[in-house]
Amino acid sequence: MRPFLLLLFLLIITPSYAQQSLPGWKQLAPPDTVGVWIQPARGKPAMPVWGHANGIMVGLAPLPGPRGLIRIYTPYLEYEFAEVMNFIAFEPIPKGSEHRGFSELEMSSLDKGERGKRFWSSDDAMAVLPSAEAYPARGVVEKINGEETLTLYVFSEPFDNGARVYVRLRFFKSRPYEFEITTNTYDGSVDLDYFITTATMGNKARLRTLFLKEGQKSSLELWPDYKDIHFTSHACFSQKEMIRDKKENVYFIAAPNEKDYSKAVYAPGTHSHWKYRGKHATQYWIKKNPQEKLNGLVSGRFTYWASEAPIPGGISIENFELKSPFKNGERFIFGITPLSTEKFIQEIKK
């Protein structure tokens, strides 16, 4: 068995952040390796996993984890046991409203009694009707501007606020640690002011430091006195505060502040799935041709989600996102690189 498949199986059989796991996922066919790509097996109930064979991968329910979230896997960070590194949630805001929809927290209208919106995959932008989760789309491998890519679409059932949204996910052969997210609405949706795709498990790797054009900003500075068990309010940063490359693309960058994860002291009762064992990594968003009103937002937590266990080292960033006025086809890039943040920023500025 190739190393990445071994890591993937470890991921699937290891207890994780999951609030619940749908039955039957262990019996699903493992994914295929096609060149540099991971794709679901064809023509049989299959694990919904896509991405780079030696890089970042994404998955959907019924793999372990809450519903209404895209799972992000990073086996290249050498976990003791491969686990979900982060999640992407959908949070649309209708025109004229200040209230977000929450794909992870809202009750499903398709699956009675289930919390979290149902997501399904497709090879194109036409799959507005739910499809069987056990038969995920294969994804389309093609060359775009001379580069090999893997593309799939992820749809959500309608939100309580009337939003009907989907994203296109695209992986590029030359960029193994990131993928592109394109945001869209489908027929029947209310008009949106925003469609935020938020990275929503920064506490796993204990992200604490933002890297901005004029220096660093710590979560310990942003919320120095916060000790509650809920989320903090958002801290907001304009695109003018973000690091840029020579093409004027903006980078919103976060990383842990710890030098050695093995020295962390966890509070009694902290669940084992929060005890991070992987390598250090830098997480980031990129926006090409940013709108003037683009902002970067972060919220923090003092305790781990759904618990009263304090996070070792103090409050850390949980939600990490870009907020840009909505238009169909808006593209964002999310990545998790094994490069140190200093090296990553050097590469940006070359």
* Residue at token pair 């500025």: 349
Three-state SS string over 112-132 comes to: CCCECCCEEEECCCCCCCCCC
Q: Which of 13-17, 195-199, 256-260, 297-301 has the lowest mean pLDDT?
A: 13-17
All structural domains of the chain with their residue ranges: 202-350
Q: Is residue 176 classed as helix, strand or coil in its secondary structure?
A: coil
Write out pLDDT tens, residues 12-44.
Answer: 333 333 334 444 777 899 999 999 999 999 999
Rounded Cα distance, 344 and 350, in Å: 10
If you average pLDDT over residues 202-228, what whole number do you get? 97
DSSP summary character for residue 154: E
Residue burial 287-313, b: 16+ Cβ < 10 Å; e: rest: beebeeebbbbbbbbbbbbeeebbbbb
DSSP 8-state assignment for residue 274: G
Give residue-wise pLDDT tens across range 223-239.
999 999 999 999 999 99
pTM score of the predicted model: 0.92
SS3 236: strand
**Residue closest to 82 by CA, chosen among 10, 31, 6:** 10
131: confidence class by pLDDT, cuts 50, 70, 90? confident
**pLDDT at position 100:** 97
